[in-house]
Structure 1
Amino acid sequence: MERWIRARHLPGIPLGRDGRRVTAGDEHIALSRKAAREGMVLLKNEGNILPLQPGCKVALFGKGTIDYVKGGGGSGDVTVPYVRNLYDGFAEIIGEESVFPGTVQFYQDYVTARYAENWAPGMVAEPPVPEDLLREARAFTDTAVISISRFSGEDWDRKSPRAVIKRKDPVTGDTVSMSDVLFEKGDFYLSEAEQRMVNAVSEAFPKTIVILNTGGMMETACFRNNPRIQGLLLAFQGGMEGGCAAAELLTGAFTPCGKLPDTWAADLDDYPGCADFYESDTYVNYTEDIFVGYRYFETIPGAADKVVYPFGFGLSYTSFILSEEKLTVTDDEAEAAVLVTNTGSRPGREVVQVYYSAPQGRLSKPSRVLAGYRKTRLLQPGESEQVTVRFPLSRMASYDDLGKVARSAWVLEAGEYRFFIGTSVRGAKQAAETWTLAENRIAEQLTARMVPTCLEKRLLADGTFEALPTAPCHDFTASVLPPMTNDENNALPEQRGIPRLPDFGKHTGIKLQEVADGKITLRDFITALPVEELASLLGGQPNVGLANTFGYGNNPVRGIPNIMTADGPAGIRFVEGLGVTTTAFPCATLLAASWDPELLYDVGTAAALEAKENNIMVWLAPGVNIHRNPLCGRNFEYYSEDPLLAGKQAAALIRGVQSKGIAATPKHFALNNKETNRRNSDSRASERAIREIYLKQFEILVKEARPWSIMTSYNIINGHRASENKDLLTGILRDEWGFDGMVTTDWWTLGEHYKEVAAGNDMKMAAGFPDRLLAALEKGVLTRGEMEKAAENILRLILRIE
């Protein structure tokens, strides 16, 4: 049977029922809306102001009423048929006649005028509310809904008091500061204009609800501590139907069931990773070590009081009781069982969260760590569900990078291990059962890899620091070849003489179809290829069809198709202006807040079908980097501060994608926690922090979902480019975790192609450097065997695609 028909012939064959397209179809749009509802988090509900009562009228305030942010910018953006903002949502759910028209028209006119002045969507300044409009709105209703929105994107980080966002003046073309116009203290905080608006509205209305339309963390103490604000909904960036999903929750059509995937602190400087975020463009010192997010706030002395809303927190319109808790421990596994009962008057879902506390021995440890979780089904009032959470005891091991117990090993230290069962990191109660280990146990013996050379110290559980050994830093710019120019680095595949259109069926000789048919082995096929063809295969190929992120393969002589890729993770991203729109799903952080792997599987399945229907075979998603601090511009693309939650949610999405024969590509491997100067910034972290925090989610998804490809990051890790790091790509990823897929660089990385191939990075995107590979081969710093291994991984990916 002929393989890769879509890649070869680019047919427009619909995949839906009755010959209809699934791309941006009703089913997928409904799924996007459902996902948005499942992940939005109710943070405050004083006096049960929510849900709004039937027949309620509302007045909408804040430019985000119209200037709604469906998702972040850059690769995570998609072209959609429409976006439902908050006004659209309320108009649909309670009717236009129940929404005060004056503020809607005011913000519509204002936002339209700002767009005409070249202000970017999501980055429009908050206007003052005219006093007469405020009076008219108050005469219309006693209930105000305020929208606060935030936008960020790829290749730039969120603003802090230490950094300035700039924009082009539309008249003069000069670069001017947005600091005084938008966020005087940084966009973690309310701007002065936003604060004035919130004060004016909350003083005028007896009932005030705030919606946070943001992909990342921001200040919430000003809302929690304000008695004039009774309701607070964290709506994140909810995709194309996000405004409707928020309105459905506020009006009680559905019950909120999202839980925070991050800790929300009072002040930006409360996050330990912010201290040196802007210290240098060329490095970031991860001195907080393993104490990231709740591991920091629940452990370090004095940090607990800085938390406004803790990890795992989320309110509901109903109430639940957890009872009959039972925890059992065997030699290698722990099991927590609990009965969850809906004791309220509305249907709802609850998330059972299990944490452990390991003994403080020679290795410093967090006070609590998430061990497992499970979300109930929709429980009707009075209904119960028995929930079981299992996890291996090895999950409680710590990595010993200094040899305090056993060097380069995952170890369980002797002592008493305690367990906590509940619905948030702070709401979890200690189980009666404990587990005591009489002597130290080595869970897994490994080899030291990715050891830091320039990190001088790291944080301990008692709030002090310990010194780390240092050594001369590695020169990551060294190469046996002449340096590349900027034009060479940024070249497109077709600019390197690579043909744009394949020409199948006109050549004789060995073909990849013979491997697919089982007539020859993949190894035999690869060894028969001339070295020039190998070199060409290891780089990106020209776009065809709707693709705008290039392809893999493309050797018509050998019958190798040109497999197209598409960006993610909010949906499938195509070339704009061709008339094809796709479904925009909620941002990854919202999906994580659902704590629902089954939902993520469904989103992955839907995304894969939209990719396949449009002849895209590789989806460059999900993004799974850790939320180290609120300032990273791409946090909206990533899941959580916790690697277990991020890994489990991402693994489910990957399984959904690949169930449809489309390759998922988790990214960015690894420690990509800052966008500023991302191609030349050195992430300096201890091996323990790297393994326990920044690689753990990748390890989980590799072992549980077996992704067919992984994308490396731009940054440098402890002096070595991620794309050139053999410890990372071969030692850890393949040898330790058993990964058997393809590794690709991020697009236009500054890594040297031959060094990447030698390290285990198979594909160079957006285009390779065949001539440099051949020159390196001639100089003896690259072998044909290394090139063949990379080619084998690339072709195995292509063979897996249906």
Structure 2
Amino acid sequence: MEEKKNKWLKPLIIVAVIVAAAYFAYRKIYDMLFGGAVSVSMDDVYSTLNAIKVPLIIAVVVIIAAVIVSIAVARKEVGIRKMVRGQSILASILAVAVAANVICLNIEYSLINKVMTGSEGLSEETKQASIELCEEIADEGVVLLKNEDNALPVNKGTKLNVFGWGSTQPIYGGTGSGSVSEENAVSLLQGLENAGFELNTALTDFYKEYRSDRPSIGMGEVDWTSPQPTMEEYDENSIFEDAEAFSDTAVIVITRAGGEGPDLPEKMSDENTYNTTQMGGEVTYSTNEEDLSSEKSYLELTAREAEMVERVNDSFEKVYVIINSANAMELGWLDEYENIKAALWCAGAGETGFNALGSIMCGDVNPSGKLVDTYVYDLMSTPVYNNFGNFDYSNSNEITGSEENKAKFVNYVEGIYVGYKYYETAAAEGQIDYDSVVQYPFGYGLSYTTFDKEITSIKDDGTSVTLEVVVENTGDTAGKDVVEIYYTPPYYNGGIEKASTNLLDFEKTEILEPGDSQTISITFNYEDMASYDDINNKSYVLEHGDYAITLNSDSHTILDSEKITVEKDIIYNDENDGKRSTDETAVTNQFDFARGDVTYLSRKDGFANYDEVTKAPGNVEMTSEQIADYQCKNTYDASEYDDPDAEMPVTGADNGLTIQDMKGLDYDDAKWDELLDQMTVDEMSALVADGGFHMIAVDSAEAAESTACDGPAGITSNFNSSISGVAYPPAAMIAATWNKELAQARGEQVGKECVELGVTGWYGPAMNTHRSAFAGRNFEYYSEDGTLAGIIGGKEVGGATSQGVICYVKHFALNDQETNRTNGICTWATEQSIREIYLKAFEKSFKEGGSLGCMSSFNSIGTQWAGSCQSLLQTVLRDEWGFHGAVITDAMDPLADFYMDLNRGIRSGLTQGLSMTGGDGLITNTEDANTVTALRRASHENLYALANSNAMAKETGTPGWVKIFIGVDVLLAILFVGSEILLFKKYKKRKTV
């Protein structure tokens, strides 16, 4: 009996080991796929399973057959039975081994290689430098909004009652690709404690017990609830009575989150224009019934928050507010309560930024941040409000040929009048009472000291201007300040649209001790003040007249001014005065097709058309002409792009060149043709189509595979947890420093992290515009202003590029809302606004930052998908701006599959598909000369970026994990042969007996 029990012991142990191994493998795979910043969708999983189904099916069939055969010989003699069963086991092992080899070394090689080729992580030296830089960015990025009677700073040791549930779950960044790990982050409360404040822990415990997690805001699940206890719950726990006994000082924390996929609700109810997630799930606006309201947006205080704020004001003499939100909120309430003495804006703090918040509150650091957006009292009255969100074409089926795929649109009706450019101009025209509309201007920020600034010198040579500005610290505290230079151009009624106020350049001072001064020199070119005339001259024009050059403390407050006069119109085209100095070719209209049948806001007669233009669109049909131009896979016609007489390029040549031979060569060097001749069609197709989070190896060029990662605010890998950088404050906070050197340093530090983590491609930074305060990814983008975003972003890109990183600057372009982005939303805008507002943020990244990469966007410009818009990716990016390098799609998501077509894209300037499943089938008709020519051109761009990147320091040849895999194969082969020999020997021995 004991012998029978023992017979089951060994199989049970084997089964237990297999089950345990399978579970841990499952968890590892699950975390790898779904635990990253950008989760792999179930469609990607299904696609992967579909790709590997053949070897899996064969292996399963062999195993089943082996089991059946083993059972069938149960009554045979012992020798035959053991021989057959032994062969069945060996056949099963062989089938599994062959399937594993086919899957791992062929079908899913790229995905597995991304997982296996990690690094040992950051060195302590680099990590510490990055952490210190995070705090330095926050030191200079936190903005002091209000400080009555010098209420701040607060003495160390002060007892603080920190109110607001968000104090226990603050915002460190955002969600999606721009998210950061909070695992090692200093919390807001820790930051205050580290600064020497004593906190009311009973209050903190009350909030933690109320709710311990933040509502989810993602692509598949959205809950916009702003958790906050009711007054009854406060009173039941004697919170206010105990807090008053603790101290007379209170801090209120208000948080608002944003993320990839959803835009923030303009109405906190189902009356909002978008009521499903990107993945089609339902949206929860609030689980607190009293907070639901069609009269309030997410960026206002909720009913529960308003009650809490009022009670705090009534209960405490000293109240300080922390606004923890990258999105511009309605903050008029800050001035409605007499005991709210001071307020600070802290977008997202990253890993250590809340230490800076504490340092600022106690006075160890003097705040010097400036706002990156205009803060208005009423976000529902902005020019963009009615034309942001969800709008369907009524004839959608006719456009896409599908019930499932809806054709969407958005009209950028405000033209160039975005943010402060509208409010300053409207005030100049007398259309608005500025002070009753705008609470905090763009570029606004207070200090614990005072500064005097004046223009002391101006040099004008007719093409460029140099200003010298003296900044003196006239207060009693050391601190930094920002020199903001704006210009006011002449406006001719009904002529080229112009804002009355335009940021020109800026510089930040060093730390100035009381009484010290610094002279800041700023040089700009006349052409920097040119406007784009998309109606008459169809080029940049610097119109004649007087230009006021102003030194401001913010977009509205002028401290000093000078005047320069332009005697005649300067027209920057080939027919008149030639191109701008920074352009490779003279610029002319490329986006007439994007204007559409839309009327745009005009300054003419004091914005006379404002009411008509800014109202919500009605029932809109796409015209037959637009439908004919609409781009999706259903309408793709290669003949529109291809040359019927094209000749097949040379492929598979043996010229003996490697990617190492290309380092430092010009894009047009003749050697590139020789190297490209060596590539096969299959290699080119794979290099272009299989671009998700890597650039694959190219054997013919001896180019090793390189890794690409997400993380505009911190390097993160979807596939390897060892690839993880430091969590930086988001772009909005970096821009709020108004510090070019800090932005450069941040880029360099990210580049150093990439080198140590084995990362070559960085999906960032992101350059889109804060067109609306409700845009979900405003945390990930710099500003409402293209000049500020362009300068800060360009410096970051330049810093990272100097370390050999391919910066896939994103999302190019006009991807300024999340709603309907994966529907290929048709974005209608004037060429002037496209160039002056939306492309301006990107321009310096390529012209000055030297970026080697770019990520196109999901949306369409007009009816043309941005990833196949030749005007954008070829004419502007390459011809005008001189860019060469890799241009990748945004995620080749099944949601966007109906219009994101690589076949069209590679004929229009695209070079890579961000495919999660290997890119099979994304490129078709590879026997056609036009397809191969397009693949060759795209491969040239990709390899040019690679040759000038840190990938050139990587070892070429077989990856280590593949060597181990092959070693295991060899060992298995030896064991297999040995087992076969042993089986036959035993069988023969039994037969002899």
Matched, 1:660 2:778: no
| Partner amino acid, structure 2, of 1:316 | S
CA spacing shift, 1:777–1:689, aligned 2, 3 Å: farther
Conserved? CA contact 1:84–1:241, under 8 Å: yes
Measure, in 1, the Cα distance between the counterparts of 2:187 and 2:159: 18
Change (3 A) 1:480 1:360: closer
Please give the alpha-carbon distance, in whole angstroms, between the structure 2 residues aligned to 1:55 and 1:104.
18
SS of 2:923's equivalent? helix
Partners of 1:587 and 1:90 in 2: how far apart?
20
What residue in structure 1 maps to residue 630 of structure 2? Answer: 475
Could you tell me whether the CA contact under 8 Å between 2:327 and 2:778 is conserved in 1? yes
1:223 and 1:577 map into 2 onto residues whose CA distance is 45
Tell me the equivalent position of 1:590.
733
Query: Aligned partner of 2:625: which letter?
Result: P
Task: Tell me the amino acid that sits aligned with residue 530 of structure 1.
Answer: T
Per the alignment, residue 6 of structure 2 pairs with none
Which residue is 1:354 aligned to? Answer: 485
2:299 paired residue number: 188
Identity %: 30
Contact 2:263–2:774, Cα closer than 8 Å, also in 1? yes
Shift, 1:756, TM fit: 0.4
Partner of residue 155 from structure 1, selected from 261, 277, 281: 261
Paired residues of 1:624 and 1:646 also in contact (CA < 8 A): yes
Q: Give the 3-state SS of the residue equivalent to 1:47 in structure 2.
A: helix
From 674, 681, 697, the counterpart of 1:524: 674
Distance, in Å, in 2 between the alignment partners of 1:244 and 1:89 is: 4
Output the CA distance in 1 between the equivalents of 2:115 and 2:723.
Answer: 20
2:159 alignment partner in structure 1: 57
Question: Where does residue 449 of structure 1 map in the other structure?
Answer: 590
**Please, what TM-score do these two structures have when normalized by structure 1?**
0.88
Match of 1:681 in 2: 825
Mapped contact 2:541–2:569 kept (Cα < 8 A) = yes
The match for 1:326 among 443, 451, 457 is 457
2:241 aligned residue: 135
CA distance in 2, matches of 1:100, 1:80: 23
Report the RMSD for the aligned CA atoms in angstroms. 3.0
In structure 2, C-alpha distance between the alignment counterparts of 1:624 and 1:126, rounded to whole Å: 34
Radius of gyration: which is bigger? 2
CA contact (8 A) 1:295 1:369 kept: yes
Change over 3 Å in CA distance of 1:801–1:413 after alignment to 2:
same
Pick aligned residue for 2:511 from 368, 378, 381 = 378
Q: Which sits farther off after the overlay, 524-533 or 568-577? A: 568-577
Deviation at 1:798, TM superposition (A): 1.1
Q: 1:157 to 1:591 in 2, by over 3 A?
A: same
For residues 949 and 938 of structure 2, what CA distance do their matches in structure 1 show? 17
Does residue 568 (structure 1) correspond to residue 711 (structure 2)? The answer is yes
Q: How big is each residue's C-alpha offset from its partner over 1:262-319, in whole Å with a ceiling of 9 and x where there is no partner? A: 1011111232111211351511111100000100010122162311100110000011
Query: Which of the two has greater helix per residue?
Result: 2
1:387-425 per-residue CA deviation (whole Å, 9 max, x = no partner) reads 11111110111111110xx2x110011111111112211
Query: Aligned in 2, Cα 1:30/1:704: closer, same or farther, shift over 3 Å?
Result: same
State the SS of the aligned residue for 1:648: helix
Aligned to 2:567: 438
- Counterpart CA distance in 2 for 1:117 and 1:641 is 23
1:80–1:42 CA distance, 2 compared to 1 (3 A): same
> How do 1:716-731 and structure 2 match up within 5 A?
716-731=860-875
Check 1:471–1:292 CA distance in 2 against 1; reply closer, same or farther (3 A cut).
Answer: farther
SS in 2 for 1:240: coil
Aligned to 1:368: 501
| Corresponding position: 1:641 with 2:784 | yes
Question: Are the counterparts in 2 of residues 535 and 770 from structure 1 also a CA contact under 8 Å?
Answer: no
Q: 1:708 to 1:264 in 2, by over 3 A?
A: same
Matched position secondary structure for 2:772: coil
Identify which of 600, 603, 606 aligns with 1:458. Answer: 600
Report the secondary structure of 2:504's partner residue.
strand
Cα distance in structure 2, aligned partners of 1:352 and 1:316: 14
Amino acid of the residue matched to residue 671 of structure 1? L
After superposition, residues 397-408 of structure 1 pair within 5 angstroms as: 397-403=530-536, 406=537, 408=538
CA contact (8 A) 1:350 1:423 kept: no
CA 1:515/1:702 → structure 2, altered by over 3 Å: closer, same or farther? closer
For 1:496, the equivalent position in structure 2 comes to none
CA shift, 1:365, in A, is 1.0
Instruction: Decide whether the 8 Å contact of 1:89 with 1:246 is kept in 2.
Output: yes
Displacement after TM superposition at 1:343 (Å): 0.9
Alpha-carbon spacing, 1:553–1:464, altered in 2? closer, same or farther (3 Å):
farther
**Residues 175, 206 of structure 1: CA spacing in aligned structure 2 closer, same or farther, 3 A cutoff?**
closer
Partner of 1:83: 185
Matched with 2:690 is: 540
Alpha-carbon shift at residue 127 of structure 1 (Å): 1.4
In the alignment, which residue of structure 2 is the partner of 1:40?
A: 142
Distance 1:164 1:319, change over 3 A: same
- Aligned match for 1:108, one of 195, 201, 208: 208
Seen in structure 2, the aligned counterparts of structure 1 residues 509 and 521 have a Cα distance that, compared at 3 Å, is: closer
789, 792, 795: which is aligned to 2:943? Answer: 795
Question: Would the aligned equivalents of 1:82 and 1:240 in 2 still touch at CA under 8 Å?
Answer: yes
Structure 1 gaps of 5+ residues are 1-5, 484-506, 542-548
Q: Secondary structure at the match of 1:637?
A: coil
Gaps of 5+ in 2: 1-112, 393-407, 573-578, 580-585, 614-622, 639-653, 951-993
Asked if structure 1 preserves the Cα contact closer than 8 Å seen for 2:223 and 2:285, the reply is no
C-alpha contact 2:799 2:849 (8 A) present in aligned 1: no
Of 261, 267, 275, 2:386 maps to 275
- 1:493 is matched with none
| Amino acid in structure 2 at the alignment position of 1:389 | I
Show CA shifts across 1:32-53 (max 9, x none).
1111121010000011110012
Q: Is the alpha carbon distance of 1:420 and 1:177 closer, same or farther for their aligned partners in structure 2, counting shifts above 3 Å? A: closer
Native 8 Å contact 2:370 2:443 kept in 1:
yes
Q: Deviations over 1:6-51 (max 9, x none)?
A: 99994746664xxx463xx222112111111210100000111100
Tell me the secondary structure at the aligned position of residue 560 of structure 1. Answer: coil
- Counterpart selection for 1:427 from 548, 552, 557: 557
Instruction: After TM superposition, give the deviation of residue 80 of structure 1 in Å.
Output: 4.5
Which position in structure 2 is the counterpart of 1:213?
Answer: 324
Change (3 A) 1:72 1:229: same
- d(CA) in 1 for partners of 2:154 and 2:457? 38
Shift of 1:587: 1.0
- Which residue of the partner structure matches residue 231 of structure 1? 342
Instruction: Kindly state the Cα deviation for residue 124 of structure 1 after the two structures are TM-superposed.
Output: 4.9
Matched residue, 1:498: none
Once the two structures are superposed, residues 616-661 of structure 1 have per-residue CA deviations (whole angstroms, 9 ceiling, x without a partner) of 1111111011110111101110001111110000111111111212
Could you say what secondary structure the match of 1:112 adopts?
Answer: coil
SS state of the match for residue 256, structure 1?
coil
Q: Is the 8 A contact 2:716 2:723 kept in 1?
A: no
Residue range with higher mean Cα deviation, 271-280 or 711-720: 271-280
Stretch moving more, 379-388 or 570-579: 570-579
CA gap of 1:167–1:764, structure 2 versus 1, over 3 A, is closer
Residue 713 in structure 1 maps to residue 857 in structure 2 = yes
Change in 2 beyond 3 A, CA 1:279/1:74: closer
1:442 and 1:630 map into 2 onto residues whose CA distance is 35
Q: Is the Cα–Cα contact under 8 Å of residues 488 and 500 in structure 2 kept in the other structure? A: yes
AA aligned opposite 1:525 = L
Task: Give the corresponding residue for 2:199.
Answer: 99
Q: What's the secondary structure of 1:635's corresponding residue?
A: coil
Letter in 1 for 2:771: R
**Partners of 1:210 and 1:568 in 2: CA distance:** 30
Q: Which amino acid aligns with 1:235?
A: C
Most deviating of 184-193 and 74-83: 74-83
Q: What SS does structure 2 have at the residue aligned with 1:402?
A: coil
Tell me the equivalent position of 2:333: 222
Residues in 2 aligned to 1:117 and 1:525: alpha-carbon distance in whole angstroms? 47
